[in-house]
Structure 1
Amino acid sequence: MHDEPNPAPARDLDVDAFATAIETFSRFYARLPVPEKLSFTALSVLDTLTCHDGPLRLTDLTRSEQVSQPGITQLVARLERDGLVERRPDPSDGRAVLVRITEAGRRAGRTRHEARTRHLTPLVDRLSGAQRRALADALPALTRLAELGREHR
């Protein structure tokens, strides 16, 4: 169950400072060493396909990944060549293509997640107890913020 939206938003969060902190962390997180030699965008496509229930059209991936149609087509072709995704014609529209993640693609995503967790754990251990609690307390709000962002699309 989610909290109801606040009809009169409180000004108890500096949204600019929040955005700056998230951007800084995102850049750091994206650069953590991972065993796969896949680009950030390729890994993002795999994550999108993993989180989505069923295959997606190339046009949906173009929107979600903010990549041009030719760019996503080339990227998906490389991922298919590497066995990480499969492309099939859309049975409801012969002009469209559906993209589905393979088990190898799921493994690549899990491997990346596990590698990043291994790198983050000793860093989180260096935070104070209060800082770790603050991160833990923020997780539901960050998850809900991401849900709201997906709903807004």
Structure 2
Amino acid sequence: MDQSQRARSPRDTARELADLASAVVRALADRRELSFTAAATLARLEREGPARLTALAVAEGVSQPSMTQLVQRLEAQGLVLRVGDPDDGRATLVGVTEAGRDVLAARREARDTRLAELLTTLPEEDRQALGTAIRTALPLVRRMLGDDAVPPRPLPGPHTTGSLR
């Protein structure tokens, strides 16, 4: 019995899933316009709503000074905007702009097109098996990420210092 036919332990499968995720991210990352961290930060803001710099830094696993520099670059590109925090007038939140949403949408479209092209090189049976595996793994990965937790926060109201739309 060769290695592909033997029973896989959960640890083997976990390692292979992590290797696969890492390889897919590396293969599909378009770093010409935005770094991975910049794109991840924009996507987080789109998904979760405006956030404080400190919370963004923690969520993305970077230092606060690094996140400050990243937000300044994204702000200069018109992709994010700082707005007043309606819960604390002394604080500001960072939110994604429509231009930021457009950049994310274009990146996702390019990624999906690239993946779809690659998938056409597989036999139909393999594409079906991959689809089944993904539908099985996706809920587990979402649970791991906590994506089933908090819904996106609404945009700030009257204390806004700029428009996110």
TM-score by length of 2: 0.73
Larger radius of gyration: 2
Aligned to 1:137, which of 132, 140, 165?
132
Unaligned runs of 5+ in 2: 1-7, 150-165
1:41 aligned onto 2:40: no
The corresponding residue for 1:88 is 83
**Whole-angstrom CA distance in 1 between matches of 2:39 and 2:137:** 21
1:6-85 matched pairs, under 5 angstroms: 11=9, 14-30=13-29, 33=30, 37-52=33-48, 54-85=49-80
Report if the CA contact (8 A) 1:57-1:97 is conserved.
yes
The CA RMSD measured in Å over matched residues stands at 2.4
Identity of aligned residues (%): 41
- DSSP-derived class of the 2:95 partner: strand
Aligned to 1:111, which of 89, 101, 106?
106
Report if the CA contact (8 A) 1:58-1:96 is conserved.
no
The corresponding residue for 1:120 is 115
TM-score by length of 1: 0.79
**Whole-angstrom CA distance in 2 between matches of 1:126 and 1:150:** 30
Unaligned runs of 5+ in 1: 1-9
| Pairs aligned (count) | 140
- DSSP-derived class of the 2:33 partner: coil
